[in-house]
Amino acid sequence: MAFRADERDLIAADIGAYLERQKAKELLRFITCGSVDDGKSTLIGRLLHDSKQIFEDQMAALESDSRRVGTQGSNIDFALLVDGLTAEREQGITIDVAYRFFATDKRKFIVADTPGHEQYTRNMVTGASTAELAVLLVDARKGVLEQTRRHSILAQMVGIRRFVLAINKMDLVDHDADLFAAIVADYRAFADRIGIDQWIAIPVSGLNGDNIAARSEAMDWYDGPTLVEHLETVPIDSESDEAKPFRMPVQWVSRPDPSFRGFAGQVASGRIAPGDEVRILPSGRTSTVARIVTMGGDLDEAVAGQSVTLTLEDEVDCSRGDVIAAASQAPHAADQFEATIVWMADEEMVPGKGYWLKLGTQSATATVAHPKYQLNVNTLDELAAKTLDLNAIGVADLTVDRPIVFEPYRDQHDGGPNRALGGFILIDKLTNATVAAGMLHFALRRAENIHWQALDVSRETHARLKGQKPAVLWFTGLSGAGKSTIANLVEKKLVALGRHTFLLDGDNVRHGLNKDLGFTEADRIENIRRVGEVAKLMADAGLIVLTAFISPFRAEREMVRRMLPDGEFIEVFVDTPLADAEARDVKGLYAKARAGELPNFTGIDSPYEPPEQPELWIDTVKMTAEQAADAVIDLIERRR
């Protein structure tokens, strides 16, 4: 069909006006959660249908799918709009988080359909992490269940403050007003106990559409808003974010040409304008905003939620991971915290193990201490725990290897979440899998109260008196590889050369300093941490320290490397095939491990991660112990 020029102009104007109206609408992110088969996916499908977000061909396919899966009568199974995975459709349950977009005349919405099964708690946390409101579905026939309480606690924990108790399937209980009131009273007692005060209860039927977008004639006793009316009018948290102090984590330093240097990121909170004074953290340097640049041109002001590039008046050191903040209301930096941790991996948490921590655009190595307690989400009891396993929620202290800029996840003033600087994830260094999500409570006071004491006699003075360069020779390899034999020979040769040395042997250290530790992964990590600290102190005294430890994990060897100045950690990989190590097993340890008498034995039922770039690689198949010792001496002498 051809249009006249004036008709095309009118159509273009209508489209433009429509797009401008859509752009101007506020966006509300919310989740649906609750127990299994409460009708979460059906409710979202009904919202999409009633807001006219389904095309005719989609509707025809939905009707066909509904007949195929056996939906009773002429009803449509709206859950099929959201449950897109084959496994979900076969089981009739939600497994993964499904996000859907829809809009009404007043607002735009992004809704996350989250799983109800306890085993998919981590998926529910993922969906809740960006939401501002939670719709808790309750089957009117069952009332408030364990998962209703669990999801309420989790949603509140990640910063959601507004809730809708959608009591669903009212058509199956004859729209009973007294039953509705009883469920509301039951949930009110629970909500009061955990501190949820912004919530509303709505009786609905997702299948029939009662009180979803249109008021139900069958429940004329209910005089509150429909679900859509409430979603269109509930306050949005982003409004309060604009009232907070300015924060922008730097994602990227933009240098398109030598004349321009800008710092790109999303404004996490507050507002900023040219001329405002800012502070770069963690360095603490201050400057003034010169320009606010976007793809559409310069702005007079930027507010929370906008992605911008800032240029500064001064040439200050600022890079990815730094935070640009209001100079007069800057956040703090620390390296020790208390945090709530939601464990999301099949493998349990290993206290003391090094994980990557990502907080906004910042990255650091973090170690988690033994939990202070694990939360029972049904009773809210604080239970003793040595570790955290899949879907467990606990509180623990964590330490990072450098100060990071942070704010408590729960805002002290309005109770809203500081997600950009308070929420973090932990990543396994070996697999790169996300293993946990967490919320920072506060920096530990000991991190602020403990300071380095200035000493008059420096480590350089100690080294000069001994006439040598300090070093830590870290011999690593399988049990029976020959680490202790070679280290002992090296020390004898160094002493003959007049060097000042000390040898820390794995077995000897476990008789004293580390006699309280076993051979679990957590104990092995703590064993290496303590030895690393002792070796560092000895190197500070100017000694050449030799250590002979299996030290099977790369992350822990790197932890020790970071304790020392550059060039002082010398990793010596004593490489011996497992069969050869077993053959020379004078202690009989491998035989016991093969028989199941020594659990967690490296090389048998516990892994060994060989160094990727050691300073010295010794192949014991090709070299004798004497030749290996000479190679180490040669390396040390070349460093002088």
Q: Is 241 part of any known ligand binding site?
A: no
**DSSP type of residue 621:** T
**What's the rounded Cα separation, in Å, for the pair 36 and 148?**
10
Q: Is 115 part of any known ligand binding site?
A: yes
- What totals of helices (H) and strands (E) does the chain contain, helices first? 19, 29
**What's the rounded Cα separation, in Å, for the pair 611 and 594?**
25
Q: Is 481 part of any known ligand binding site?
A: yes
Q: Is 469 part of any known ligand binding site?
A: no
Q: Is 37 part of any known ligand binding site?
A: yes
Quote the tokens at residue 296.
Answer: 């559409």
Q: Is 168 part of any known ligand binding site?
A: yes
328 in active site: no
Identify the helix (H) or strand (E) that includes residue 487: helix 483-496
Identify the helix (H) or strand (E) that includes residue 490: helix 483-496
Cis before 282 (ω within 30): yes
Out of 66, 152, 551, 606, the active site residue is 551
Strands 423-428, 354-359: pairing is antiparallel
Q: Is 391 part of any known ligand binding site?
A: no
**Nearest Cα to Cα of residue 38 among 115, 113, 139:** 139
Quote the tokens at residue 208.
Answer: 């029939």
| Amino acid identity, position 212 | I
Q: Is 35 part of any known ligand binding site?
A: yes
Q: Is 477 part of any known ligand binding site?
A: yes
Q: Is 488 part of any known ligand binding site?
A: no
Q: Is 113 part of any known ligand binding site?
A: yes
Q: Is 482 part of any known ligand binding site?
A: yes
Q: How many CB atoms lie within 10 A of CB 588?
A: 9
Check: CB of residue 117 under 8 Å from CB of residue 93.
yes
**What's the rounded Cα separation, in Å, for the pair 274 and 390?**
48
**What's the rounded Cα separation, in Å, for the pair 53 and 47?**
9
Q: Is 317 part of any known ligand binding site?
A: no
DSSP reduced 3-state for 143: coil
**Nearest Cα to Cα of residue 589 among 574, 576, 578:** 578
Helix 146-157 vs helix 121-128: crossing angle, to nearest 10: 40
Q: Is 38 part of any known ligand binding site?
A: yes
Residues 6+ apart with CB under 8 A from 267: 246, 247, 248, 302, 303, 304, 305, 306, 307, 308
Here the contacts of 577-586 (C-beta below 8 Å, separation 24 or greater) are: 577/621, 578/478, 578/603, 580/480, 580/620, 580/621, 581/478, 581/479, 581/480, 581/481, 582/480, 584/480, 584/482, 585/479, 585/480, 586/480
**Nearest Cα to Cα of residue 28 among 315, 239, 316:** 239
**What's the rounded Cα separation, in Å, for the pair 143 and 38?**
10
**What's the rounded Cα separation, in Å, for the pair 247 and 265?**
10
Q: Is 34 part of any known ligand binding site?
A: yes
**Nearest Cα to Cα of residue 329 among 290, 271, 383, 386:** 271
**Nearest Cα to Cα of residue 478 among 633, 587, 373:** 587
Q: Is 116 part of any known ligand binding site?
A: yes
Strands 362-368, 354-359: pairing is antiparallel
Q: Is 117 part of any known ligand binding site?
A: yes
Please give, one letter per residue, the 3-state secondary structure of 554-618. Answer: HHHHHHHHHHCCCCCEEEEEEECCHHHHHHCCCCCHHHHHHCCCCCCCECCCECCCCCCCCCEEE
**Cα 169 from chain centre:** 36
**What's the rounded Cα separation, in Å, for the pair 501 and 490?**
10
Q: Is 41 part of any known ligand binding site?
A: yes
Q: Where are the beta strands (DSSP E) in 53-161?
A: 98-103, 107-113, 133-139
Q: Is 484 part of any known ligand binding site?
A: yes
- So which residues are the catalytic ones? 551
Which residue ranges make up the annotated binding site? 34-41, 113-117, 168-171, 477-484
Which residue ranges make up the annotated binding site for GTP? 34-41, 113-117, 168-171
Which residue ranges make up the annotated binding site for ATP? 477-484
